[in-house]
A and B are shown apart, each in its own frame.
Chain A
Amino acid sequence: GAVVSQHPSWVICKSGTSVKIECRSLDFQATTMFWYRQFPKQSLMLMATSNEGSKATYEQGVEKDKFLINHASLTLSTLTVTSAHPEDSSFYICSAREGGGLSTDTQYFGPGTRLTVL
C-alpha cells in the first residue's frame, strides 16, 4: 500500500513552455501533498505544501506565480512550472501524507519527474 505516482517521469521542453506535473496517491487519500525539488547530488528541498481544497503554502524563496500548485482532490495534486527556463531544470518529487492529516503521519514519495528545459 501507500503508493504515489508521478506523471510524466521525464519531460523535455523549450524555454518559455509551461509544464504540468501530476502527483497521485493510488491507494489512499492524501489530505496533504508536498512538492520537493532535488538538484544533482543534493538533498530534497521543500517547495510547497499542498492541502486539498485550499491554497498551497510556499517555502521562502519559491515563486508562487512560477510554480502553480493545485490540489483539487484527495488523490491528485498538480505542479505547473510556468514559462520554464533552463534554470528550472531539476528533479521534482512529490509526496503524499497518509492518514488524517496529522503532522506525525508518514510521507510517501513519488518516483520524481525530471524536467529538462532547453
Chain B
Amino acid sequence: AQSVSQHNHHVILSEAASLELGCNYSYGGTVNLFWYVQYPGQHLQLLLKYFSGDPLVKGIKGFEAEFIKSKFSFNLRKPSVQWSDTAEYFCAVNAGNMLTFGGGTRLMVKP
C-alpha cells in the first residue's frame, strides 16, 4: 500500500523567510501528486498538482513543488512566506483509486 510522509510536523518562520516542506511517498508505480492547504477555520484547498510533464510545478500564491522521481519526493517551496501563509499543508499521493495524505505540516509565520 502507498504511504506518504511529511517530515516536519510544525514549522515556524518569520515573514520573508524561504519555505521548503518535505514530502516523500512510497509507491513503485505511476503516481499523481498534490499539495493541499487548510487555512484556519477553512476547508482544504488545492495548492498545486503534478500529473506528468515538467517536474517543477507552480501553484497558487507563489508556491511551487518539484517532483523528483528518484527520491520519491515532492517538496513544496516558497521563496518568501507571508503571515497569511499560516496554515496546515498536506501532501497527497493518488495511486490507483485512492488519495493518501501525509500527516500534515503546521506552518506558522510570524509577522
Does A43 touch B at the CB level, under 8 Å? yes
Supplied contacts A111-B42, A111-B43, 17 more A-B pairs, CB within 8 Å: A42-B103, A43-B101, A43-B102, A44-B44, A44-B101, A46-B100, A93-B44, A95-B44, A103-B32, A103-B95, A104-B32, A106-B46, A106-B49, A109-B36, A109-B43, A109-B44, A112-B43
Which B residues from 28 to 55 make CB contacts under 8 A with A?
32, 34, 36, 42-46, 49, 51
Interface residues, chain B, with chain A CB atoms under 8 Å away: 32, 34, 36, 42-46, 49, 51, 90, 94-104
Closest to A59 in B: B98
Interface residues, chain A, with chain B CB atoms under 8 Å away: 32, 34, 42-44, 46, 49, 93, 95, 103-104, 106-112
Name the prevailing secondary structure of the B interface residues. Answer: strand
Contacts of B96 in A (CB 8 A): 103
Which 3 A/B pairs are nearest by Cβ-Cβ distance?
A: A111-B43, A109-B44, A43-B101
